[in-house]
Structure 1
Amino acid sequence: MIYLVLSVLVSSLIFVIFKLFDVFKINTSQAIVVNYIIALSFGLFTSNVPLSITQIPQQPWFLGAFCLGFLFIAIFNVMGITAQKNGLSVASVAGKMSVVIPIVAGVFMYNESVGIIKFIGILMALVAVYLSSAKSDISPVKFKNLIYPLLLFIGSGTIDAGLKYTETTYVSEGAVPMFLATIFGCAFLLGCLFMIVQIIKGNFKFQWKNILGGIVLGIPNYYSMEFLLKALQTEGLESSTLFTINNVSIVILTTVFALVFFKEKLIKKIG
C-alpha cells in the first residue's frame, strides 16, 4: 500500500511542475526531452540486471517498451499543453479519469471482477472529463477546448493498460528498473528527433532554464512509474481497483493544489 501512496504523491507533483513551467516560461517540449534522459539515468542506476545495450532489443518486453516510449513523450507533451491551456485541474481529471480504459482492459483481459461501483465509476469518469473541459455553463462547448483533454484521456488510459499488460506478461520483478529505463530511453531518442526537426526549421531556442526544468521533472517522473509498477505487483489487489484508487486520489490531490497554490476556481456547470 505504501507504493500506492507514493505513486499518488509523486504523480500529483508532476502536474504541479507542468503548471510551473507555464509560470516560469519554460519550454515544455525541451524540458520533456531532458526529463527523459534524467529518468533513463535513474533507471540504469537502480537496475540490478546487467544488460548491455545490444541485449536490450532481445528482451521480450522491448517492443512494448518502445511503443510505450512513443506514447510517453506524445502524451507528456499533451499533458503539458492541457495544464497550461485548460488548467491544472482539467489536465488532472482528463489524465487520471482515463482509468476507464485499464478498468475495461482488466475485466476483459484478466477476468477481474466488475460491479455496480466500477460501472458507475466509468460513467462518472466520462462525465468528469466533459464537465471539467468546458469553461462555463453558459458558454457553448467548443471542440478545440476538448481536443487536448480528450487526447490526454485516451493516451493516458492506453499507457496504463499497456504498462499493466507488458509488466504482467513479460517483465520480471527484478527487471522493472531496466524496463523503465528502456521506455524512457526510447522516449528520449524520439524527443531528440523532434528537436532536430525544430533546429532544421529554425524554431529551436536554447535556454538553460529548460534544462533545469527537465531535471526537476525527470526525477518524479521516473519514481511515479516505478512506484506504480511495484503497486501493481501487490498480491490480492486487482489492477482495476488499484488504478481507480490511484487515479481518483491524484485528481483530488491535484485539484487541491490547483485551488490552493494556483488560485484556480471550480466552475458550476449545472443546476
Structure 2
Amino acid sequence: MIFILLSICCSVTVAVLLKLAKRYQISIIQAVTVNYFVALILCFLFFKPEVSAINVDSPWPVYISLAILLPSIFLFLAASIKNLGIVKTDIAQRLSLFIPILAAYFIFKEDFNNLKIIGLAIGFPAIVLTFIRKSDQGNNNRRWLYPIMVFVGFGVIDVLFKQIALYKAAPYTTSLFLVFCLSFILSLFIVTAMAITRKTKLQLVNVACGAILGIFNFGNILFYMKAHKALAQNPSTVFAAMNLGVIIVGTLIGVLVFKERLTKLNYAGIILALVAIIFIKLSQDAV
C-alpha cells in the first residue's frame, strides 16, 4: 500500500504546484516543457527503455496523438485548478475513467455487469453536482470548459495508453519514454516560438518549478506502476485506492489549505463520485 500512498501524494502535489503557479507568476507552458524533459530523463534512468524496439511499424498515430494531448491537457488542468480549484479538478480527472470504460463497451465490445452500469449511472450526476457554482451565470459558464476538457482529455489519453499497452512489439515503458520525448519536443517548439515573438519571457523560476513538477509527475506514474506490480493479483484494489485517495486527499487540501468553497450540492457530488468508483471497483472484482 506504500506505493499507492506515494502515488496519491505525487498526484495531489502536482495539483498543488499548479494551484500555486499563479501566486508565483509561473509560466505554465515553460514549466510543462521542463516537466517533460525531467520526466524523460527519469524515465530513461528508471525504466531503461529499449529504443531499438521502436520502428516504422510502431503505433505512431497513437504516439503523436499523446504527444499533442499530454502538454495540452496540462494547460487545461492548470486553468481548471486556477478557476475552479483542486477539489473539482481532481474529481474531473478521476471520473475521466468513465471514458475508457465506455470505450471498452462501445468500441471493444466488452460486457458490462450491473455493478458497472450502476457505477456509471451514479458517476455522471456526480460530475454535474460537483461542478455547480452559484455564480455560474453569463460568461462564467465558460469556467465549465476547463474541467470538461480535463474530463474528456484524460479519458482519451487513458484510451490511447491502453492502445499502447496492447502493442507487444515494444515494452510499455519504452513507448512511454518515446511519448515523453515527443511531448518535450512539441512543448519546446511552442516555448521557443513564444520567446521569439516575445509572447513569453524565459525565467529561471519556471525551470525550477518545471523540474519539481516533472519529479512528482513521474513519481505518480512510477509508484502507480509499482503498486500494480506489487498487487498484481488485485489490480482493482490499486485502481480504487488511487482514485478514492486522490479525491479525498485533494478535497481535504483544497478545503482546509486553500479555503476552496463548496456548496452542499458539491459535497453531494463528491460523495456520489466516491460511491461510483466503489461500484466500478466491485464490478471489476465480480469479473
Fold conserved between structures, TM > 0.5 = yes
Question: Percent identity, aligned pairs only?
Answer: 27
Q: 2-side partners of 1:70 and 1:262: how far apart?
A: 31
Q: What amino acid does structure 1 have at the position aligned with 2:71?
A: I
Alpha-carbon shift at residue 190 of structure 1 (Å): 1.0
> Which amino acid is 1:96 matched to?
R
TM-score of the pair, normalised by structure 2 = 0.80
- Residue 85 of structure 1 pairs with residue 83 of structure 2: yes
After superposition, the Cα gap between the structure-2 partners of 1:23 and 1:171, relative to the gap in structure 1 and judged at 3 Å, is farther
Asked if 1:148 is matched to 2:154, the reply is no
- The equivalent position to 1:67 in structure 2, one of 60, 65, 68, is 65
Report Cα offsets for 1:88-111 as digits up to 9, x if no partner.
111111111111112223445666
Residues 1-271 of structure 1 correspond to what in structure 2 (within 5 A)? 3-51=3-51, 56-58=54-56, 60-107=58-105, 114-136=112-134, 139-140=136-137, 142-170=140-168, 175-229=171-225, 235-237=232-234, 243-269=239-265
Query: Do the aligned partners of 1:129 and 1:149 also contact (CA within 8 Å) in 2?
Result: no
- Structure 1: unaligned runs, 5 residues or longer: none
Q: Do the aligned residues in 1 keep the contact of 2:36 with 2:214 (CA within 8 Å)?
A: yes
**Deviation at residue 66 of structure 1 after TM alignment:** 2.7
1:122-144 CA-partner distances (Å, limit 9, x unpaired): 233322332232322x7548530
Query: Which whole-Å CA distance do the structure 2 matches of 1:257 and 1:12 have between them?
Result: 9
SS in 1 for 2:11: helix
The whole-number CA distance in structure 2 between the counterparts of 1:3 and 1:83 is: 25
Q: TM-score, normalised by structure 1?
A: 0.84
Structure 2: segments with no counterpart, 5+ residues: 269-287
1:87 alignment partner AA: G
8 A contact 2:164–2:172 mirrored in 1: no
What secondary structure is seen at the aligned counterpart in 1 of 2:265?
Answer: coil
Q: What RMSD in Å do the two structures reach over aligned CA positions?
A: 2.9
| DSSP 3-state at the match of 2:51 | coil
Q: How many residues are paired up?
A: 265
